[in-house]
Structure 1
């Protein structure tokens, strides 16, 4: 795993640093859309998503993806690993 992702140094460069944390832990679809819009232009969106996936974070919007989207990505990756074996 890339040490930069695990180190979290990238977090200080995220667009999210300019917003209250609650924005990224929405309770409805409109809130998820707002968080995604912020993530859409973020320079570290990929690092953020990989961090959330590697750390099994199951809440909030990370890397522009909701909890459900991250579960789907993780499942696809697990299936791909099994197929590759």
Structure 2
């Protein structure tokens, strides 16, 4: 089992890799602004990727102290308008 952090991942084309990784038995967490819920069985952190302070505190002290969020892979799934 891999630990995967996906930036975005709850809407548009980000849902597919998140759902597939979870279906393969990987522990998946999405980090987004909170605009969309992740698929069932997927963890969630809320922060804006452009806000350094929000990224620093998003995991909370419990996850940071135990290194439980130590991801083996990180993927970003941006979607831009225009």
Q: TM-score, normalised by structure 1?
A: 0.28
Q: Which has the higher contact order (CA 8 A, sep 6+)?
A: 2
- Computing the radius of gyration from Cα coordinates, the structure with the larger value is 1
Q: TM-score, normalised by structure 2?
A: 0.29
Determine which structure has the larger helix proportion and give its number.
Answer: 1
